[in-house]
Amino acid sequence: MIPLFSDVAMNRNLDFLGAVKKVLDRHWYVLGEEVTGFESEFADYVGVGYCVSMANGTDAIEIALRSVGVESGDLVVTVANAGFYSSTAIHAVGATPLYVDINPSCMTMSVDALAEALKFKPKCVIVTHLYGQMANIKELLALAHAAGVMLIEDCAQSHGAKTDGHQAGSWGDAACFSFYPTKNLGAMGDGGAVVTNNDELAARLKTLRQYGWSSKYHVGHAGGKNSRLDEMQAAILRIKLPLLDSWNASRRDIAFRYNEAFANLGFDALPSVDDSFAAHLYVARIQNRDAFREFLKSEGVATDVHYPVPDHWQAAYTQPRVAGSMEVTDSSCKNLVTLPCFPGMADEAVDTVIAAVKKYFEQ
């Protein structure tokens, strides 16, 4: 079976034991030299002043929301097709997600939908660069700031994507990253970070990630958490960061081959394979998705669905707030399918996926 993702292929020939041994020899496991070094290096990579690392990507979104002043009862604009991660963080703050529809081409937040949602006076907007595809961040940011609303980028799937020469994460008031193992920049466990250019925001982020301490054992800020990236994960991420751009190029090459091969099959994939696409996932829309997935499984190709249930249809929250129509979101989630696309994927494996998809359509 060709897997959807292979940690073995991606991490082949990397020396993690040396990095971990350095941590063990220091006997310092939390908020030490490796974390400080990674935060500096990742901030430089994204092109921002500050990186504040955390335990995972969802904590990063929650703490970012608190740091920009979102409180219980506030509205936060977000999309509903991104796996409920932002929604989880919004609910954790006690705020309410205000869902808006997506652009049918790139499946990220619609500019027109955000304009409608801003009439409801939200406190914040979360823009998700989904599947590694950057949203129309310039127009979305201009709309939000014109309305006096803070904007947070969700970059959990877009490490290294660029638009107009600027990295994902360098546009908004703050931006959140996940370093879950399958991400474009992944640790060997959970990890996350918030990046920003705002001095005061960076100081609040550092306070909120560690209990809300104003000084050790003195809690001066409400809403704090215990959310810290550990030294071993930071050491591993420092090894991987210099390889991120080449890994993204490999992902884009696979996506380009797929797009070329599937161009006349009625296979509706993300059109962009330039620098604005980090190719975290190769996602397409197809009729009769379940039959397609079963066929590819029989041909030895793994698939998945990212994501089958829109946030506003999740059973745990029965009275969602929605601004305008959610037609594109609802129709897209019914037809989504994800194909294997990862660094280290052999050319023969890519050929096998292409052959299997073509064989399905030939039937």
pLDDT of residue 267: 81
Instruction: Give 151-164 pLDDT, tens digit per residue.
Output: 999 999 999 999 99
User: What mean pLDDT do residues 274-296 have?
Assistant: 96
pLDDT of residue 68: 98
Instruction: Give 20-56 pLDDT, tens digit per residue.
Output: 999 999 999 999 999 999 999 999 999 999 999 999 9
pLDDT of residue 190: 97
pLDDT of residue 259: 94
pLDDT value at 272 more than 90: no
User: What mean pLDDT do residues 80-103 have?
Assistant: 98
What are the domain boundaries of the chain? 7-242, 243-362
Q: Which CATH class is domain 7-242?
A: alpha beta
Instruction: Give 167-226 pLDDT, tens digit per residue.
Output: 999 999 999 999 999 999 999 999 999 999 999 999 999 999 999 999 999 999 999 999
Instruction: Give 298-332 pLDDT, tens digit per residue.
Output: 999 999 999 999 999 999 999 999 999 999 999 99
Query: Positive or negative CA dihedral for 207, 209, 215, 217?
Result: positive
Q: In sequence order, what are the residues at sequence separation of 6 or more whose Cβ sits closer than 8 angstroms to the Cβ of residue 175?
A: 46, 48, 64, 152, 153, 154, 155, 168, 169, 194, 195, 196
Cα 59 to Cα 1, 46, 182, 194, 228: the distances in Å are 34, 20, 18, 9, 10
Q: What is the largest CA-CA distance in the chain?
A: 68
pLDDT band for 89, please (50, 70, 90 cuts).
Answer: very high
Calpha distance 220→330 (Å, rounded): 43
pLDDT of residue 58: 98
pLDDT value at 246 more than 80: yes
User: What mean pLDDT do residues 225-238 have?
Assistant: 97
pLDDT of residue 270: 79
Share of the chain above pLDDT 70, in %: 100
User: What mean pLDDT do residues 104-132 have?
Assistant: 97
Calpha distance 150→194 (Å, rounded): 15
pLDDT value at 271 more than 80: no
pLDDT of residue 266: 81
pLDDT band for 268, please (50, 70, 90 cuts).
Answer: confident
Q: Return the CATH architecture of domain 243-362.
A: Alpha-Beta Complex (3.90)
Cis omega (within 30 of 0) for bond into 131? no
User: What mean pLDDT do residues 250-273 have?
Assistant: 90
Share of the chain above pLDDT 90, in %: 96
Instruction: Give 335-349 pLDDT, tens digit per residue.
Output: 999 999 999 999 999
